[in-house]
Amino acid sequence: MRKGVTLVELLIGLAIIGIALSFTVPFWQSGDSKRILVKEQHRLYLFLRQIQGRAENSSEIWFILANRHPITNRWCMTAQIKNDKVCDCLNPTICPKEVYAHFYYPYFAEKTTIISPKMYPSEVARFNGVRNTVDSNCFLLQSGEERTLFSFLM
């Protein structure tokens, strides 16, 4: 008797693995609110640290603006140099080039929301590159029933 696996046995094994993965992968990728919030929080934190670094290197004042669409609740953030014209991340095409705008769009836009007392056109935070300070303010990032607080202190 020969040792080994026949082609039929191999195909049956692969079919069983494929069927098992087709049920488990969508469930695993859907994620729960806590995991979604942690991932989004980390991405947003990296964006804000990048802008803080740009403010320090440019010695300019940078605005952080948050915007949320009233109907779809999709949200985004804009970082720009202080200017009379403020950029809207929901309509970035009309943003002037002289403000060097950077936009943050959430990875889990349908599953997260932002809550802040100051929304577009008011700034959520202000990074001062000259004095390396931030105006005090805060906002909440929420996914399902889970929330995390972003707080900017002087």
pLDDT digits (tens, 9 = 90+) for 80-124: 999 999 999 999 998 999 999 999 999 998 899 998 888 888 888
**pLDDT at residue 1 in the model:** 62
Residue 40 lies in a domain: yes
In a domain, 11, yes or no: no
Q: Is residue 5 part of a domain?
A: no
In a domain, 42, yes or no: yes
pTM for the predicted model, two decimal places? 0.74
Instruction: State residue 30's pLDDT score.
Output: 56
Note the pLDDT tens digit of each residue in 39-85. Answer: 999 999 999 989 988 888 888 899 999 999 888 889 999 999 999 99
Q: What is the predicted pLDDT for the residue at 81?
A: 94
Asked if residue 23 belongs to a domain, the reply is no
- The average pLDDT across 123-150 equals 82
Query: Does 21 map to a domain?
Result: no
How far apart CA 108 and CA 143 sit, in angstroms, is 9
CATH label of the domain that carries residue 124: 3.55.40
pLDDT of 7 > 80? The answer is: yes
- If one counts the domains in the chain, the total is 1
Sign of CA dihedral 47, 115, 77, 80: negative
Per the structure, the complete domain to which residue 131 belongs is given by 33-152
* Listed residue (116, 111, 106, 118) closest to 145, CA to CA: 111
Mean pLDDT of 5-33: 77
Is residue 28 a part of any domain in this protein? no
pLDDT score at 28: 59
Distance CA 113, CA 97 (A): 28
Q: Is residue 84 part of a domain?
A: yes
Mean pLDDT of 136-144: 84
